[in-house]
């Protein structure tokens, strides 16, 4: 539906679904359903992580609550500026809670390391990260991640929540964007 903007399908809808099952199983094992800290708190990073977050939550066998945060580091460019701004903060206090950040993609890792520092200063009982995608650059940044769905090549990807200039989030798969779209 986007003409030839998508150069190739990198991860199909079916591959995403079975990975989400796998990650849900892994996550559920780490958090007891009757933890004294209460329900696991999923913190989704808007907007890219919403498809992953809702699919993951539906597959988790432990009760979860959901909060969202919006941070901005990119504008509509395709490389990280390292400058992170909170566009929307959490509605609730996370002190004493088991918090799991749900991310769409870790690229340079700058956004996530900033987010980890920010959220840990609010004294959660625990703070972990699950990300659907990770690019090779992230391996050079020191960010501890509990679970990763797919390590992907260093290409700009869209779909399943990921956008370029707010487009392509609605694709059910993850694809690479033809460089002509961003003038590459
Ligand atoms: P850093 O570099 O801070 O970036 O780890 C993380 C955020 O940048 C966005 N990002 C992408 N968005 N396709 C996208 O649609 C990509 O290939 C891509 N790489 C990074 C994303 O918002 C992520 O949270
Ligand atoms: Mg984004």
pLDDT digits (tens, 9 = 90+) for 165-184: 999 999 999 999 998 998 86
Q: Whose CA is nearest to atom 18 of ligand 1?
A: 156
Ligand 1 geometric centre to CA of 40 (Å): 25
pLDDT at residue 13 tops 60: yes
Phi then psi for residue 182, to 5 deg, are -105, 20
Ligand having the closest approach to the CA of 106 = 1
The alpha-carbon radius of gyration of the chain (Å, integer) is 16
- Residue positions annotated with a catalytic role: 107
Give the C-alpha separation, 48 to 174, whole Å: 12
Quick one: which ligand is closest to 84's CA? 1
pLDDT of residue 104: 97
Q: How far is the CA of 88 from the centre of ligand 2 (A)?
A: 13
CB 134 within 8 A of CB 145: yes
Distance of CA 77 from the midpoint of ligand 2 (Å): 10
pLDDT at 78: 54
The domain spans of the chain are 12-153
82 to 73, 74, 165, 176: CA distances (angstroms): 6, 8, 18, 23
Nearest CA owner, ligand 1 atom 13: 157
Q: Is the pLDDT of residue 77 over 70?
A: no
Tell me the per-residue pLDDT of 21-72, one tens digit each, with 9 for 90 and over: 999 999 999 998 889 999 999 999 999 999 999 999 999 999 999 999 999 8
**Nearest ligand 1 atom to alpha carbon 106:** 5
CA–CA separation, 162 and 170 (whole Å): 8
- The arrangement of strands across the sheet holding 126-134 comes to 85-88, 64-72, 40-46, 98-106, 126-134, 147-151
Confidence of residue 148 (pLDDT cuts 50, 70, 90): very high
- Tell me the CATH architecture of domain 12-153: 3-Layer(aba) Sandwich (3.40)
Give the ipTM: 0.92
- 144-171: average pLDDT: 96
Cα 38 to Cα 141: distance, rounded to the nearest angstrom: 32
CA of 106 to the centre of ligand 1 (A): 6
Ligand 1 is surrounded, with C-beta below 6 A, by 48, 73-74, 80, 104-112, 156-158, 162-164
87 pLDDT band, cuts 50/70/90, is: very high
Determine the atom of ligand 1 nearest the C-alpha atom of 168.
15
Determine the Cα–Cα distance for residues 177 and 179; give it in Å rounded to an integer. 6
Best residue for ligand 1 mutational test, from 52, 83, 162, 171 (most atoms within 8 Å of Cβ): 162
């Amino acid at each position: 539906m986007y003409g030839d903007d998508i150069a190739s399908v990198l991860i199909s809808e079916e591959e995403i679904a079975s990975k989400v099952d796998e990650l849900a199983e892994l996550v559920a094992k780490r958090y007891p359903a009757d933890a004294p800290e209460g329900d696991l708190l999923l913190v989704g990073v808007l907007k890219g992580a919403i498809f992953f977050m809702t699919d993951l939550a539906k597959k988790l066998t432990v009760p979860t609550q959901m909060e969202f945060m919006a941070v901005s580091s990119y504008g509509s460019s395709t490389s990280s500026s390292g400058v992170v701004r909170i566009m929307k903060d959490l509605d609730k206090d996370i002190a004493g809670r088991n918090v799991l950040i749900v991310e769409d993609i870790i690229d340079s890792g700058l956004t996530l390391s900033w987010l980890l520092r920010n959220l840990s200063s609010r004294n959660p009982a625990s703070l972990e990260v699950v990300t659907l995608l990770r690019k090779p650059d992230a391996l050079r940044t020191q960010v501890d991640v509990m679970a990763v769905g797919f390590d992907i090549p260093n290409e700009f990807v869209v779909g399943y929540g990921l956008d370029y200039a707010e487009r392509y989030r609605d694709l059910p798969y993850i694809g690479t964007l033809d460089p002509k779209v961003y003038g590459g």
